[in-house]
């Protein structure tokens, strides 16, 4: 497995955020994590990336304990976090430079991906000159150029308008089919999860655990045509039932 989360519990003082959570991702798999707001999805990412440690349980990345020092996880947060005073090329090379790669080499390696990421010709531009979708592509380029085994994407398109979001989802689907990265995506968008992911892990409300793992059936490439497939609609419905059913049961218990 590229990633194994085994019986992880995380609490902040008396507040339990995750409880006995299990999740595994195979090499080259695109996995999505979806759950109610406040269910601990970002906390889970902080644990996988090694920015925090679980209260109990363990997280293994390629068989080794998760840690920042391992260099096995690349984390793209919700905001693109591009520095306005650096050119797009310098922004995308920043992660490599932070790892000790010389600036010239870092720029060369990042620059090789600009055409594939639809950014060719914007190497010398600044972030304010890019559209929202282009900024997100630059942020993803900065993430994948690190060549780490696991990519964590935390709501990467959440701030985009609906049309741009759909465009970026289709673009990411195409890029994944080209490069076969191992990806874990956090999202609140059921359609996004079904369009992009091979498997969807449904979280309960806090303290979160995985209540269902759903495999996404596919009869062809990931694109607009997939949205009209009966299997797509059925998987969306199953996800919605899983989420709403769990929330409803919790609310009934609380009301009682």
Reported as a single tens digit per residue, the pLDDT across 118-170 is 999 999 999 999 998 899 999 999 999 998 999 999 988 877 888 888 888 88
228-238 average pLDDT score: 84
Range 213-220, long-range pairs (CB < 8 A, 24+ positions): 213/23, 214/238, 214/239, 214/242
pLDDT at residue number 104: 95
Residue 219 pLDDT level (bands cut at 50, 70, 90): low
Q: Give pLDDT, residue 168.
A: 87
Please report the pLDDT score of residue 244 as a whole number.
81
Alpha helices in the chain (DSSP H): 41-48, 88-92, 94-98, 103-111, 132-144, 162-179, 190-196, 230-255
pLDDT of residue 69: 77
Tell me the average pLDDT across 34-42: 85
User: Rounded mean pLDDT of 2-8?
Assistant: 94
Parallel, antiparallel or unpaired: strands 15-25 and 3-12: antiparallel
For the chain, how long is the longest CA-to-CA vector?
A: 64
Three-state SS at 110: helix
| Residue 217 backbone phi and psi in degrees, to 5 | -75, 145
């Amino acid at each position: 497995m590229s990633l194994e989360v085994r019986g992880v519990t995380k609490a902040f003082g008396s507040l339990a955020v995750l409880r006995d959570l299990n999740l595994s991702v195979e090499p080259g798999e695109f996995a999505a994590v979806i759950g109610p707001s406040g269910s601990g999805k970002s906390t889970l990412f902080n644990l996988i990336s090694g920015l925090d440690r679980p209260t109990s349980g363990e997280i293994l990345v390629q068989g080794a304990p998760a840690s920042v020092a391992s260099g096995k996880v690349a984390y793209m947060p919700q905001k693109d976090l591009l520095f306005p005073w650096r050119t797009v090329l310098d922004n995308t090379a920043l992660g490599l430079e932070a790892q000790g790669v010389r600036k010239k080499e870092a720029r060369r390696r990042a620059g090789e991906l600009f055409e594939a990421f639809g950014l060719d010709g914007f190497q010398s531009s600044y972030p304010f000159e890019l559209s929202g979708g282009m900024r997100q592509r630059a942020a993803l380029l900065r993430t994948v150029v690190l060549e780490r085994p696991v990519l964590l994407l935390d709501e990467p398109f959440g701030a985009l308008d609906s049309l741009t979001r759909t465009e970026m989802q289709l673009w990411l689907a195409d890029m994944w089919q080209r490069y076969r990265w191992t990806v874990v995506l956090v999202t609140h968008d059921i359609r996004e999860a079904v369009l992009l992911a091979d498997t969807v892990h449904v979280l309960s409300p806090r303290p979160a655990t995985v209540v269902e793992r759903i495999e996404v059936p596919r009869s062809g490439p990931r694109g607009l045509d997939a949205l009209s497939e009966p299997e797509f609609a059925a998987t969306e419905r199953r996800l919605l039932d899983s989420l709403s059913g769990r929330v409803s049961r919790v609310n009934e218990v609380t009301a009682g």
